[in-house]
Structure 1
Amino acid sequence: MEVILVVALVISLIIVIKSANVFVDNLVEIGGVLGISEIILGVTASAIGTSLPEFGSAVIASLSESTAIGVGCVIGSNIWNIAGILGISAIVAGKIGTEAAGLKRDFTVTLLTAVILVLFMLLGDIGRVAAFFMILVYLIYFWRLIKAQKDYNMEHERDGKRRKLNPKIVLLAVLGFAGLVVGCRVLVYTAVELARIMGVPEMIMGLFTLAIGTSIPELVVTLSSAIKGLHHLSLGTVLGSNTFNILIGIGVPALIKTIPVDPLSLRLDAPVMIIVTILLVLLIKQGNMKLKRSGGIILFAVYILYAFIRLYGV
């Protein structure tokens, strides 16, 4: 049984990596045809698309009474997205650049959502009032993104005829995304089954096994984007994904069932999520609006330290 699971895990990983390449290449092409900026693509289509595994896992966990897995998956994914994914991407690509306006907007919202989550956790279990508020905040953020895109289009008006959207590009983007979803579902299933066989606790499974497993799309899309030089897309994918994970990934499941707050998660996991978010911006500003390889090493080292403390030190 273990051998079959390992084989399925390897095959699904190959499918996910290939699908991510197809998805990124065609998503950027669609954005170019429609006149959508790279960073807006990152924090909307790419971020939401790659966050669907976390969202689905959180909803399924809530419906199956395993809310600790759902919350752990979201918080763990957000920590991994910044410290792990951006850290690894910066190490491999050498640097990830961005521009001040987009960073300020998306970082502010990402940090705000993390603080909102912590405040609701301090008040007790996360119920429908908190859920409605979180979803409302996301809708406001999404409206701001639409407004930013309109401003971008006005500033980058192009002469001549706009290129036609090739249906083949759309089909390939959809197929790439479908490959991500299917591949990730198999990847998560095999990872969870292997974790259960090894006797991993539910909250730890959510924080690490499921969190990293469901974040594979962000990893491959972000890494692929960084290597291709699409820096705004890679950073936008992570920041947009973290915002979506909290406001929708926790907000919607909390509408279905009240989510209990784990004291250790409030004491350690949530604060670490805020710390790595702030650290990311400090490293980017210190690197002259670039997350350099040295900054990536620092972020990844922080994740390793957090994982060690969470697993062995508390």
Structure 2
Amino acid sequence: MLWLILIIVLIISLIAVIKAADIFVENLVEIGSSLGISEVILGVTAAAMGTSLPEFGSAIIAILSGNPEIGVGTVVGANIWNMGGILGISAVFSGMITTKKAYLKRDGSMSLVTAIILFLFLLYFGSVNIWAGIVLIVVYLGYLYYLIQGQKKENQKNIESKSNEKNPKNLRKKTMWALAGILGLAIGCRILVYCTVELSDIFTIPEMFAGILLAFGTTAPEFFTVLTSARRGLSHLAIGTVLGSNIFNIMIGLGVPALLVTIPVENIAILYDAPVMILMTLTLLLLMRRNHRLTRREGLILIVFYAAYITLRMFWTV
């Protein structure tokens, strides 16, 4: 009867994670309004960093446990899933996800540049070494500085806006609820991963599919945050979370561990995963280039792209 208990816990955890995502998104947006921080900036910074902690933690744990090669695969695989799976599914369920041209140009371009920088290091060195780590971290800090300066200019234009009125007591309350939401996401997603792995063992699910399920577990916070944002009509937050997460995963998720140890990389990551990540990023930007939005049709295109990637990877032999 263990399988039945695991399924019940899995369902309860799923409900809890969805509720935690609601709490996190709702309070994060209200915090942004109180501080005069735009929705998209919240997405590419706070939401992206908070929901990317599982991937970052996985990379660090892999390195400290003597399996550093897993780190790159986790990060690159997560980034491809973020675009093909999370954004694709969210667009299908919400009907449409929109953003502004300026946001797409800034964060989309940075996401593409980030992927290309990583690929060039992998291609030239065959690993992510300390020099790569330094470059990645410095570029990320430059990106954050650019975001902060942009937000300051935007705030100056709306200096008399009511949205900039601060209530310290209310702000503290919203911050506590947002932290509770992200903590609930982390705990709930960890339970989801545990139940999924245990059920895969009980029902002898092939390792490939178990690995895909485990990868979903590490990106579950992004999935529920983006899906909740899209469902609530917070499209800028949804797009910002995915693009910001992809940037953070590479720049910090790999940059920081690379300062500790050179991260070896398997051929499949260099010859297949990294190029697919770049191609997926280009596809996303091209789909949104004209109207700066993702409809159900574009969402389906991204899902099909991801399905093709996973299918081909199953038969990769190099």
| TM beyond 0.5 | yes
SS at match of 1:285: coil
Deviation at 1:151, TM superposition (A): 1.2
Q: Structure 1's 159 and 270: CA in aligned 2 closer, same or farther, altered over 3 A?
A: closer
Deviation at 1:9, TM superposition (A): 3.3
Deviation at 1:152, TM superposition (A): 1.1
1:268 maps to 272
Contact 1:195 1:209 in 2 (8 A): no
Distance 2:240 2:257 in 1: 24
1:60 maps to 61
Q: Structure 1's 93 and 124: CA in aligned 2 closer, same or farther, altered over 3 A?
A: same
**% identical equivalent positions:** 52
* 1:237 has 2:254 as partner: no
Deviation at 1:65, TM superposition (A): 1.4
* 1:281 has 2:281 as partner: no
Distance 1:195 1:56 in 2: 23
Which amino acid is 1:305 matched to? A
Deviations 1:131-164 (A, max 9, x none): 1111111111111111111011012222568141
Q: Structure 1's 134 and 223: CA in aligned 2 closer, same or farther, altered over 3 A?
A: same
Deviations 1:94-121 (A, max 9, x none): 1111101111110111011101111111
Contact 1:72 1:204 in 2 (8 A): no
User: How many equivalent pairs are there?
Assistant: 311
2:190 maps to 185
* 1:22 has 2:23 as partner: yes
Which amino acid is 1:66 matched to? N
Q: Structure 1's 81 and 128: CA in aligned 2 closer, same or farther, altered over 3 A?
A: same
Instruction: Map residues 116-265 of structure 1 onto 2, 5 A cutoff.
Output: 116-122=117-123, 123-159=125-161, 162-165=165-168, 166=170, 167-194=172-199, 198=204, 208-265=212-269
2:311 paired residue among 301, 308, 311: 308
Which amino acid is 1:309 matched to? L
Q: Structure 1's 193 and 254: CA in aligned 2 closer, same or farther, altered over 3 A?
A: farther
TM-score by length of 2: 0.91
* 1:76 has 2:77 as partner: yes
Distance 1:199 1:294 in 2: 32
SS at match of 1:183: helix
Deviation at 1:4, TM superposition (A): 4.7
SS at match of 1:158: coil
- Segments of structure 1 that go 5 or more residues without pairing to the other structure are none
Contact 1:39 1:232 in 2 (8 A): yes
Contact 1:54 1:211 in 2 (8 A): no
Distance 2:68 2:15 in 1: 30
2:104 maps to 103
Contact 1:188 1:213 in 2 (8 A): yes
Distance 2:8 2:255 in 1: 35
Q: Structure 1's 27 and 72: CA in aligned 2 closer, same or farther, altered over 3 A?
A: same
Distance 1:120 1:190 in 2: 37
Deviations 1:152-189 (A, max 9, x none): 10122225681414032222111111101211222233
1:114 maps to 115
SS at match of 2:288: helix
Q: Structure 1's 249 and 205: CA in aligned 2 closer, same or farther, altered over 3 A?
A: farther
Per mean C-alpha deviation after superposition, the further-off stretch among 217-226 and 13-22 is 13-22
Distance 2:201 2:120 in 1: 32
